[in-house]
Structure 1
Amino acid sequence: MPEWSVTEPRKLTFEEPVRDLHVRVVNGTVNVVGTEEGSARLEVSELEGPPLVVTQQRGTLTVAYEDLPWKGFLKWLDRKGWRRSAVVSLAVPAGTRVEVGVVGANAFVSGLRGPSTIKGVTGDTTLVGLSGPVRADTVSGNLEAQAVTGDLRFNSVSGDLTVVEGAGSSVKADSVSGSMIVDLDPEGPTDVRLTSVSGEIAIRLPAPADADIEANTASGTISNAFDDLRVRGQWGAHKITGRLGAGTGKLRATTVSGSIALLRRPPRDEEPWEGRAGAEPGPTPGAAPGPVDGPAGGAGDNFPSGPGDA
């Protein structure tokens, strides 16, 4: 079994096929990019503390610390008190199955067609252009997913979830206190299920939308941009129910004390002026967007751009 002990910045190329990638890093950054090349490449550009052990066996490439197992990863503590950090970048075939574990490190994963599993303790994770199924578990780390077309499952204690241009058939998320901002732009029916105890939930749906809706909060506020939906509530509880379009998809959102907002995306046929032939120049880039159409009561607020804006 080929094995390398990486003690300083180094580059490695792996000619043997890679079908599975396992990465476990403490502090620093992990970058994983899917490519159409047959080989895999690794670059460790910064390294502090104990060595990273790199192994390749039966199609599985592993980059990790010896004392950091995948099992029980989210409960791992560095009892030996080593100060460690690494900046690791990998390019692997796009169909590779990927497992990334980060403790205090940030992870960026893009361009993969295979299944991806992310575990993070305090580091933030960014996912871009993944078409395979994704499972992400964090303690307090935030997750941002952009243009992810595979099924997305997210579990966290206090981490925030941000989905931008979500086009997958399924988004399921559970959190205790983390906020959830989900911007949906699917090609077909979508099954969305979001649950939080005290976190706020904001969902932007396409226009026209096609979903059966049920969203409720025990003591939070409700905002609704769709006239076809009913808002009911007494005492502290509020609920939004109804059907948009044929009701083929499903949307279920539940929070105990957080607020819920249902917002509206612009119709697909409303192209930006600069995208039409012979159109007048559009607004200055970077200008603030206009309000979302909807009834009073908060539905006209701009869609938040990230967890910090929720």
Structure 2
Amino acid sequence: MTEWSVSEPTKLTLTDPVTRLQVRIVNGTVNVVGTDEGSARLEVSSVEGPPLIVTQEGSTLTVSYEDLHWKGFLKWFDRKGHRRRAVVSVAVPAGTDVEVGVIGAGAVISGVKGRTDVRGVTGDTTLVGLAGPVRAETISGCLEAQSVTGALRVNSVTGDVTVIEGAGASVKAETISGDMVIDLDAADLDGPPADIRLTSVSGEVAIRLPHPADARVEANTTSGSVSNAFDDLRVDGQWGAKSITGTLGAGRGTLRATTVSGSIALLRRPEAADDGGFDAAPSTSGKVL
């Protein structure tokens, strides 16, 4: 095992192979990018408080503090009261499995094809162009995923969840009071059918489906409003519980959305040649209750 104690700006080039990356920091920023290079590069451009401990054991590269571990990460408390802040950038081979934990810090992960696991307390997380399975947990930080093709699992308490140009076959997201905006791109006809499952207590849920859409739809809210831009779907309920159900296209995929008091909106994604941007309003044929 090789170990470095980093208490000032530092650049490291790892000559041994890296297939697993673990980064855990408090305050600051983590940037991870997958590359076509065979080696990994690490840059710590700023560090305050206790030094970061960088270790490489076998093909696993870890950047963290001595007292900050992955187990119980979301419940961690700095008993010593240190002021901590670090800015860490890591370039790894695209196939690397990545684990990132941030407390009060932002995280940006892009171009990774291996498994990605992110845990955050208050920092925002941005995921771009990830091809492997993704699991993300956040307490109050917002999460944005763009062009993620791997299976996406998100759990949030109060943080908002935004998926842009989602092309993965599986998206499962749960929030307590965080809002969800899910923009789905056209699925690959030769790939597995889409499986979209969204659950919230009081957060609002907006889903924009590709044109033409191909899914069995079941969306329910106990006391919120519903908006539907598809004539092929049925809206039931005038007072209290409301639902949107039906089949779009051949119904290969599945879309299920459930809220208690939040509203649900199903929007129609314009055709590629006439894409007016994400904020395009539902068609005038949409029903709102």
Q: What TM-score, normalized to structure 2?
A: 0.95
Where structure 1 has 5 or more consecutive residues not aligned to the other structure, the ranges are 273-282, 300-310
- Aligned in 2, Cα 1:288/1:102: closer, same or farther, shift over 3 Å? closer
The 5 Å alignment of 1:38-77 reads: 38-77=38-77
1:265 to 258, 266, 269: 269
Match of 1:5 in 2: 5
The alpha-carbon distance between structure 1 residues 289 and 175, as it changes in their structure 2 partners (threshold 3 A), is closer
**Secondary structure, counterpart of 1:27 in structure 2:** strand
Q: Any idea what the Cα deviations from partners look like across 1:222-246, whole Å, max 9, x if unmatched?
A: 0000000000014311000000000
Show the counterpart of 2:283.
293
Change over 3 Å in CA distance of 1:56–1:288 after alignment to 2:
closer
The answer on 1:253 being equivalent to 2:261 is no
| Distance in 2 between residues matched to 1:30 and 1:289, nearest whole Å | 30
Structure 2 match to 1:244: 248
Map 1:85-100 to 2 at 5 A.
Answer: 85-100=85-100
The aligned counterpart of 1:149 is 149
- Look up the match of 1:280: none
Partner of 1:225: 229
Which structure has more strand as a fraction of its residues? 2
Secondary structure in 1 matching 2:237? strand
Q: Partner letter of residue 222 of structure 1?
A: V
Task: Deviation per CA, 1:183-209: give whole Å up to 9, x if none.
Answer: 000323210000000000000001110
Q: Does the C-alpha gap of structure 1 residues 114 and 44 become closer, same or farther in structure 2, counting only changes over 3 Å?
A: same
Partner of 1:127: 127
Aligned to 1:170: 170
Distance 1:151 1:115 in 2: 10
Find the residue that maps to 2:132 and give its secondary structure: coil
Mapped to 2, the partners of 1:222 and 1:291 lie a distance apart of 14
2:209 is equivalent to residue 205 of structure 1: yes
Q: Size of the alignment, in residue pairs? A: 285
Which aligned segments of 4 or more residues in structure 1 are displaced greater than 3 angstroms? 287-292, 296-299
**CA distance in 1: counterparts of 2:217 and 2:171, whole angstroms:** 14
Deviation at 1:294, TM superposition (A): 3.6
Q: Matches of 1:3 and 1:289 in 2, distance apart?
A: 49
1:184 aligns with 184
TM-score by length of structure 1 reads 0.89
SS class of match (1:105): strand
Matched residue of 1:104: which SS? strand
CA distance in 1, matches of 2:278, 2:268: 17
Distance apart, 1:58 and its partner CA: 1.0
* Alpha-carbon distance, 1:85 to partner: 0.1
CA distance in 2, matches of 1:289, 1:71: 40
Q: Which runs of 5+ in 2 are unaligned?
A: none
Matched, 1:14 2:14: yes
Give distance in 2, aligned partners of 1:178 and 1:63.
30
Do the aligned partners of 1:224 and 1:294 also contact (CA within 8 Å) in 2?
no
Q: For residue 215 of structure 1, what is the amino acid of its counterpart?
A: A
Shift of 1:92: 0.2
Partner Cα distance (2:247, 2:278) in 1: 31
